[in-house]
Structure 1
């Protein structure tokens, strides 16, 4: 099995296990929305780390932009999802997929190990465009056992390979 097949099998599992969405209609739009939400939180974390390195101080101050000029680094959740009810449902679904983790609110969410793997995996297969056609060619990953009862994925499945 090639690395691309391995990655695609696990992307398939991540997005299809538990019937997150239906395959009819436009599932690629849903995949892209999930990717954009995870990317939003990943960019937020990277921006906060860069601000912290530049100005010093507390990481929470950097996240909130306290003591420095805040720069809009990515489309806000409000721009992506203007309706607060839709925003709550979408961010909750991304959290339930295990791609982000929230503390006291969704707005303070951070990207999990699985979320970092997801961003890496999408990049490694050439980006989000055309992902539905690629996922149509694969199925669930097989980790031993027989095809009817494969072993479950472990945390090792969601680690970004070190090059």
Structure 2
């Protein structure tokens, strides 16, 4: 299966730079964890935060993981990370992670020759068609 190079490269940036993860240990499992956590958002609905706590192991690990996802601008929150919702970047990331495997993503480079992304990078295909 051929993966769009721009999608792969954007996921690569999110995983390795924005989330600050590395390729050693179990990065493929981390990729799945991030995807699964994003799929539970908004966490304030249907007790998504409880499921997120189960996936992360709860306690301090849960707080750290949810905060990292928030700092990477995949979610944003009001009074608690347990009530967070997806940002446009997070929605884009979730959609891309559902179709691109870790192996495909990890073959990527950085988008825009290493320059920063813009909000236009996170427009979902359905939003582009409506514009």
Large movers: runs of 4+ above 3 Å: 71-75
Deviation of 1:80 (Å): 1.5
Q: Could you tell me which residue of structure 1 aligns to residue 104 of structure 2?
A: 134
**CA distance in 1: counterparts of 2:86 and 2:72, whole angstroms:** 11
If each structure's helix is expressed as a fraction of its own residues, which one has the higher value? 2
Residues matched between the structures, number? 126
Bigger-Rg structure (1/2): 1
Q: Is this contact kept in 2: 1:9–1:138, CA < 8 A?
A: yes
Question: Which structure 1 segments of 5+ residues have no match?
Answer: 46-62, 64-70, 126-130
How much is the aligned-residue C-alpha RMSD, in angstroms? 2.4
Q: Could you tell me which residue of structure 1 aligns to residue 99 of structure 2?
A: 124
Q: 1:117 to 1:36 in 2, by over 3 A?
A: same
Question: Which structure 2 segments of 5+ residues have no match?
Answer: none
- Of 62, 70, 82, 1:107 maps to 82
Q: Is this contact kept in 2: 1:40–1:75, CA < 8 A?
A: no
Q: 1:82 to 1:94 in 2, by over 3 A?
A: same
Deviations 1:16-59 (CA, angstroms, capped at 9, x unpaired): 115611111110111111111111114x57xxxxxxxxxxxxxx
- Of 88, 91, 96, 2:63 maps to 88
**CA distance in 2: counterparts of 1:37 and 1:95, whole angstroms:** 12
Q: Structure 2 length normalisation: TM-score?
A: 0.82
Q: Is this contact kept in 1: 2:41–2:48, CA < 8 A?
A: no
Q: Structure 1 length normalisation: TM-score?
A: 0.67
SS of 1:156 mapped into structure 2: helix
